[in-house]
Structure 1
Amino acid sequence: MSDFANSLTMSASGLRAQAMRLRLTSENIANTDTPGYHRKMVPFETKTDPRTNVTTVSTGRVNLDRSDLQQIHDPSNPLADEAGNFDGSNVDIIIEIADAREAQRSYDANLKMFDQTRKMSASLLELLRR
């Protein structure tokens, strides 16, 4: 496999991983006010193909954040206990926005690398045709 193809493979794996991270961040933001919702997180794992020696990134299993849920006092809520409290979510909107921004920048960097590799490959082919 050529260096161009290896580079495209690496950047495409980064695009897929960051897209998954953005999807989960969006789900977390959408469920900020859902009672009992646990924040979703995804770990990244690197894998090296022994045949090509190309290292790619992939996502692991989606994990739920098991930190304590926020206690909300609202006696009029049908989910409230006798003290008027119920479990909210453990999603912190500030953390989610920061994660989304980081994932978006990483996605953009991988996209730029993919595009630059594609352009270099096209330029090389054009030179070889002359």
Structure 2
Amino acid sequence: MSLFNIFNVSGSAMSAQSQRLNVVSSNLANAESTTSADGKTYRAKQVEFKAIPMNNATATAVRVDRVVEDTSPLKMVFDPKNPAADENGNVAMPNVNVVEEMVNMISASRSYQNNVETMNTAKTMLLKTLTLGQ
């Protein structure tokens, strides 16, 4: 694999992890809200990645294929004083698991950091290669 392909692969991975971090942030921001912008109860979202072959067969990039809603059931919380409560006093809360989202955030930020390190290493190798001829 060419050193230049490393920049393309790592760059695509950094972009995908950045989108993943945005989705996780949105999930965490809405973890305790009773309604979303469309007036319905917020549902957690997850990012699905897709591998994309590059020009040659040795390199594969990654991109976000789609963002899907989590289909797990909403959390029902008993709060009869809440205006969004149903006739039994239950309020539908988002299906966001804060602990899982924090783990997801740490994983995404570490993946992003690893790709930054990969790009920096490739850059250093290219610079050292240029100095060999001096």
TM-score, L = length of structure 2: 0.90
Which runs of structure 2 are paired with 1:103-122 in the superposition (5 Å)?
103-122=108-127
**CA distance in structure 2 between the aligned counterparts of 1:13 and 1:77, rounded to whole angstroms:** 44
Q: Give a deviation string over 1:12-40, Cα, whole Å, max 9, x none.
A: 11111111111111111111011211001
Runs of at least 4 residues of structure 1 off by over 4 A?
none
Q: Aligned residue for 2:47? A: 42
Note the C-alpha offset of 1:61: 1.1
SS at match of 1:97: helix
Q: Aligned residue for 1:23? A: 22
**CA distance in structure 1 between the aligned counterparts of 2:61 and 2:71, rounded to whole angstroms:** 29
Q: Give a deviation string over 1:45-97, Cα, whole Å, max 9, x none.
A: 10102x33321011111100011000011111111111111210000000001
Name the % identity: 33
Unpaired runs of 5+ residues, structure 2, are 35-40
CA contact (8 A) 2:49 2:66 kept: no
Give the alignment's Cα RMSD to 1 decimal. Answer: 1.2
TM-score, L = length of structure 1: 0.93
Note the C-alpha offset of 1:127: 1.8
- Higher-strand-fraction structure: 2
- Higher-helix-fraction structure: 1
Q: Which of 64, 67, 71 is matched with 1:62 structurally?
A: 67
Deviates most, 119-128 or 100-109: 119-128
Which runs of structure 2 are paired with 1:48-127 in the superposition (5 Å)?
48-49=53-54, 51-53=55-57, 54-127=59-132
**Count of residue correspondences:** 127
SS at match of 1:43: strand
Give, as a single letter, the amino acid of the residue that structure 1 aligns with 2:104.
D
